[in-house]
Amino acid sequence: MDLPSRTSQKTGAIALSSNTLESLPAKIELPRYDRSHLTPGILHIGVGNFHRAHLAWYIHRLMQRGAALDWAIIGAGVREQDSLMREKLLAQDCLTTLIELDPLGAQETEITGVMLDFLPVEADNKSLIEAMADPQIRIVSTTVTEGGYYLDAKNNGLDLTHPDIRYDAENPESPRTAFGSMVAALRLRRDRGASPFTGLCCDNLVGNGAILRQAVVGLARLSDPELAVWIDEKCSFPNSMVDCIVPATGPAELQCARSMGVEDAAPVTHENFRQWVIEDDFCAGRPDWDLVGAEFSVHVHQHEARKIRVLNGGHQILANVAEIVGVESIAEAMATPLIHALFRKVQTEEIIPHVKPLSGSPVIDYLDLIDRRFSNDAIIDTVRRVAFDGSARHAAFILPSIHDGLATGVSVEGLALVEAAWARMCEGTREDGSHIEANDPLWDMLTATACAARQTPAVWLDMTQIYGDLARHERFAAAFEKWLASIYQNGIEATIRHYIDQK
């Protein structure tokens, strides 16, 4: 049996567990609630760092006030790699160390204990389905990444041709996907006379609740049209805007936790900013998240569009260029004058013109806020993390601004350069000749297409699953081909200078 005060022989830090909480350094804020008295109300699919720093944190703050004790979280995953996170978290009783990093150097550390269990990751998702069928679960939330919703780039609908979707439609009792599992659980709830649950998407998608509804109802319709009608009528899928910069955990983050006195196999660092705007549409009740800083609003779409275009789009402006020249973090990219100038010019001239301002909040002020947040060098947010899954992120975060620019006559020159930089990055080498490791679910296809695009730039835009019909828009296609040719002929820095010098 582990001793309550066991410490790491190498670091002197105390290994995190329920038994060691009271032995942790006094500067660490501990849960004030009795975890043995918590009952679950939320099942979350996709237990990554963002979830633990965001939705789970809001529940934790409520529990610290003695509220929401019946809204504890059951964790789950549907990917093989989720098993590793499960193993790490179960070994420390599903506790998480959260470390807030202030750009002025301050660090605040707290332990959250709102997660009670992490379900086994199974091929048929049987445990997940049964857990979601339990009437105690009133919210099923998801963070499965922007590329995980099976969107058809041509119409933004559900991709009915995807093998996973076809499989779940043909095998509704043993589905592969999170959405097929939700359908199976809702079938059990309906058949058992239980109430429906709310599906709460926490991914960066415009209309994320509507997209989650589309995935669940659309999948149900393929195997059980009557169930699809029941889900559509009885369940709710509120839209929400989520925001907090949360780096991946690596050696630096593990050491940061140790320096605070705690040995945590999966600590989470995050910036000193957090925002959550949600539609108040919960069919089976909800926690009072507004008491701890969240906002219930009918204007979610405006918050969502602003954040996705400026923050998430801004990340893509920076990441691929930075990767090409070997800059490793977003803060370093912002501190590089040429990359920062690219960021500001594209934002102010080609993205902000399409963003509707919120009352009393000019979009340029929001851009300045994002500028400061990205420049926070206490946050080691890697370019690699931000560039991951570009096939989904460019489609969601950059292409809408391109479409708006083409429709309104606003310049798309800088956005075409951003796409050309992504194509150059996907070629798989930096300008110093070093290798770029695979960083996208479609990496092999992207790399092959990028290599072909070096000689024939137009083939990159022929990826209709990403670009739809953009190749047919001469103004954008010509700009893209010009910039990609320049990157290969003159280098990325000279190409950016050329763009910045344009009037």
Give pLDDT tens digits for 139-198.
Answer: 999 999 888 999 887 788 899 999 999 999 999 999 999 999 999 999 999 999 999 999
Cα 52 from chain centroid (whole Å):
12
How far apart CA 161 and CA 175 sit, in angstroms, is 16
How far apart CA 358 and CA 366 sit, in angstroms, is 10
14-296: which CATH topology?
Rossmann fold (3.40.50)
Tokens describing residue 381: 């947010």
Q: For CATH 1.10.1040.10, list the domain ranges present in the chain.
A: 301-501
How far apart CA 11 and CA 99 sit, in angstroms, is 18
pLDDT single digits (tens) 463-485: 999 999 999 999 999 999 999 99
Distance in angstroms between the alpha carbons of the first and the last residue of the chain: 70
Which amino acid makes up residue 391? S
CATH for the 301-501 domain, from 1.10.10.10, 1.20.120.350, 1.10.1040.10, 2.60.40.10? 1.10.1040.10
Tokens describing residue 39: 């009952």
pLDDT at 185: 98
Q: For CATH 3.40.50.720, list the domain ranges present in the chain.
A: 14-296
Task: Enumerate the H helices of 263-346 as residue ranges.
Answer: 300-306, 313-325, 330-334, 337-346
Which amino acid makes up residue 358? L
**Listed residue (42, 455, 52) closest to 286, CA to CA:** 42
Phi first, then psi: what are they for 457, rounded to 5°?
Answer: -55, -30
Task: Enumerate the H helices of 248-382 as residue ranges.
Answer: 251-259, 300-306, 313-325, 330-334, 337-346, 363-374
pLDDT tens for the chain, 503 residues: list them. 233 344 544 568 999 999 999 999 999 999 999 999 999 999 999 999 999 999 999 999 999 999 999 999 999 999 988 999 999 999 999 999 999 998 887 789 999 999 999 999 999 999 999 999 999 999 999 999 888 999 887 788 899 999 999 999 999 999 999 999 999 999 999 999 999 999 999 999 989 999 999 999 999 999 999 999 999 999 999 999 999 999 999 999 999 999 999 999 999 999 999 999 999 999 999 999 999 999 999 999 999 999 999 999 999 999 999 999 999 999 999 999 999 999 999 999 999 999 999 988 899 999 999 999 999 999 989 999 999 999 999 999 999 999 999 999 999 999 999 999 999 999 999 999 999 999 999 999 999 999 999 999 999 999 999 999 999 999 999 999 999 999 999 999 999 999 999 87
Dihedral over alpha carbons 98, 101, 105, 107 (to 10 degrees): -20
What's the sign of the alpha-carbon dihedral 49, 53, 58, 62? positive
* Residue located via tokens 């936790």: 257
Question: How many CB atoms are located within 10 Å of the residue 233 CB?
Answer: 10
**Listed residue (300, 311, 288, 283) closest to 239, CA to CA:** 300
Question: How many CB atoms are located within 10 Å of the residue 382 CB?
Answer: 19
Q: Are 37 and 69 in contact (CB under 8 A)?
A: yes
Helix (H, G, I), strand (E, B) or coil at 146: helix
Query: How do 107-112 and 96-101 pair as beta strands?
Result: antiparallel
